[in-house]
Structure 1
Amino acid sequence: MSPSQPRPRAERRAGAQLVAGAGAELGCGEAPEVRVLPDGRLWLADVGAAVSAVELYRAARGVLAAGLDAMARVSGQSVEEVTFGWLVSLQMDDLLAALDQGTPEADAA
């Protein structure tokens, strides 16, 4: 889905819940209530919606895309530079954690 296309309502609601939860992680507001329903969907209490894993994934991808775009505009870098820089950082964090824990993934690296 391109950034110019409107997102389905469930994805917009899940995106709002993701932003609220991330803000709570950083001390801004309270963590929203999320619980797993018997059918495997997530109930997002603050927005009154049940979403599937696919809808949540797409919402997270949309929120991250907006964040990457904003970081690129503010920093004067291309979206590619911001994206790949962040990706390398995440991969390094994962590798260092694996090395610290002595997990098999560290041996493969």
Structure 2
Amino acid sequence: MTDQPSVPAPYGWHTVDTARIQWVDAMHLDDEQLEELLAAARIQCEAYAPAVVGEVPVNYRQAQLLQARNLWQAIKTDQGGDIGPDGYAVPVYAMDRVVKGLLRPKRGVPYVR
């Protein structure tokens, strides 16, 4: 880790420090790797989610963190989707339904009989 503080994320998105608090495995990444993952995840979330003005909602922040984790899983798997010497299969998705659900929650539709 470097002695320099991380660059603040705009409008309430996760920073290296806040991501490490909520994502235990982020401790294994150096600041630069984690910043890149968070930036890429933020870009993907912003492209998929409805635009917001001002502070980023909590669900967007959580989606960013989950997407960063998904990206990290995709990076560390081999071509067959396996991780590690034991060959555990891990499905890798561009953006899974949990992240999409956080960014665009399904709304209840009134049902009248």
Normalised by the length of structure 2, the TM-score is 0.29
Q: Which has the higher strand share?
A: 1
Give the structure, 1 or 2, with the largest relative contact order (CA under 8 Å, sep 6 or more): 2
- In our comparison, the structure showing a higher alpha carbon Rg is 1
